[in-house]
């Protein structure tokens, strides 16, 4: 008897500054999925929020009902718990973190607070809000340069490295145009590391990779447009440093209540040798140059099998949650 294919709805695009990156990630994921195993139902969400189905016609006798959803929606209205809440209401299994883990991880300031509560090393920062931006407050706290970023966004959209007062004022206004909350961080000179995490209750961490930007920092243009940044799939670190990155990655993952997958970013300060957690991404990039799948591939888990595992984790979590009582 022919085994029934799993029907996977892939959501991509979205109302986000990372719309184009999402399209590229979704294209890579769909190309990597085994056609004998999956029936793919793509849904593109426009920048205006309209859902446009591009469903592949089901085979005769196929399975048109959705078995699992794969959200590939980077940033706001996709990675922040909103779509995850919709899928929970629909009682559909889905890949990646749940509502709480997604919302918490998307908010860099809340992530920092939870990590600090667990005693994890985060970069010194202060929080400002749209309408109450203060250059003076930043200058009283930090020396230049500083990093200014929206609290809720990814792919380095809206991030500036400010070297002086004029640049800081412009940076605060730019970040505030993307979010009501703005994070200002002490600039750390050192190495940029990333680590992939995979799993639900018992997550695993890959060996960390290293990013060598072609610009002052790994910004949006460097990530997706210039093609000049260097990536090292397995960073040149001591065994102790590798273990510490992995430990901190899993600790951060669990502190924010993440499930399924995430990429945790670090800075290794050159002057002190200290590791600092930068942020966690619950729907990391899956483009041809993205490091999340590359790190697992270096660990012996090829891209198509990684997709399989993420879908398996989604179905496993859904089975566990369906045992929960919601009525007396």
Catalytic residue positions?
18, 155, 224, 263, 265, 279, 281, 285
Q: Which of 254, 211, 247, 256 is nearest to 231 (CA)?
A: 211
Cis link prior to 145 (omega < 30° from 0)?
A: yes
Give a three-class secondary structure readout of the chain: CCCCCEEEEEEEECCCCCHHHHHHHHHHHHHHCCCCCEEEEEEEECCCCCEEECCCCCCCCCCCCCCEEEEECCCCCCCCCHHHHHHHHCCCCECCCCHHHHHHHHCHHHHHHHHHHCCCCECCEEEEECCCCCHHHHHHHCCCCEEEEECCCCCCCCCEEECCHHHHHHHHHHHHHHCCEEEEEECCCEEEEEEEEEECCCCEECCCEEEECCCCCCCHHHHHCCCCCEEECCCCCCHHHHHHHHHHHHHHHHHCCCCEEEEEEEEEECCCCCEEEEEEECCCCCCCCCHHHHHHHHCCCCHHHHHHHHHHHHHHHHHHHCCCCCCC
The most distant pair of C-alpha atoms in the chain lies apart, rounded to whole Å, by: 71
* Rounded-to-integer distance, Cα 50 and Cα 323, Å: 34
């Amino acid at each position: 008897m022919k085994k029934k294919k799993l029907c996977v709805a892939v959501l991509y695009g979205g109302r986000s500054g990372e719309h184009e990156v999402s399209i590229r990630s979704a294209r890579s994921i769909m190309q990597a999925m085994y056609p004998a195993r999956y029936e793919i139902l793509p849904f593109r969400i426009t920048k205006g929020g309209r859902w446009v189905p591009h469903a592949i016609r089901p085979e005769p006798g196929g399975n048109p009902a959705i078995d699992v959803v794969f959200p590939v929606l980077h940033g706001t209205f996709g990675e922040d718990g909103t779509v995850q809440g919709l899928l929970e209401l629909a009682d559909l299994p889905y890949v990646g973190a749940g509502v709480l883990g997604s919302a918490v991880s998307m908010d860099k300031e809340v992530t920092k607070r939870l990590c600090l509560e667990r005693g994890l090393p985060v970069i010194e920062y202060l929080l400002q809000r749209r309408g109450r931006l203060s250059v003076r407050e930043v200058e009283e706290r930090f020396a230049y340069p500083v990093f200014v970023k929206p609290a809720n966004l990814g792919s380095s959209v809206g991030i500036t490295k400010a070297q002086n007062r004029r640049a800081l004022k412009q940076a605060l206004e730019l970040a505030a145009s993307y979010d009501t909350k703005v994070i200002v961080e002490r600039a750390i000179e050192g190495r940029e590391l990333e680590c992939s995490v995979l799993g639900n209750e018992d997550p695993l961490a890959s060996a960390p990779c290293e990013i060598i930007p072609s610009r002052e920092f790994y910004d949006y243009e460097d990530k997706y447009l210039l093609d000049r940044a260097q990536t090292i799939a397995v960073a040149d670190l001591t065994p102790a440093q590798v273990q510490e990155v992995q430990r901190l990655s899993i600790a951060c993952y669990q502190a924010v209540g993440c499930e399924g997958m995430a990429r945790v970013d670090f800075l290794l300060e050159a002057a002190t040798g200290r590791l600092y957690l930068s942020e966690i991404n619950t729907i990391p990039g899956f483009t041809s140059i993205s490091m999340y799948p590359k790190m697992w591939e270096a660990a012996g888990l090829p891209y198509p099998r990684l997709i399989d595992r993420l879908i398996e984790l989604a179905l496993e979590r859904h089975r566990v949650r369906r045992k929960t009582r919601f009525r007396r």
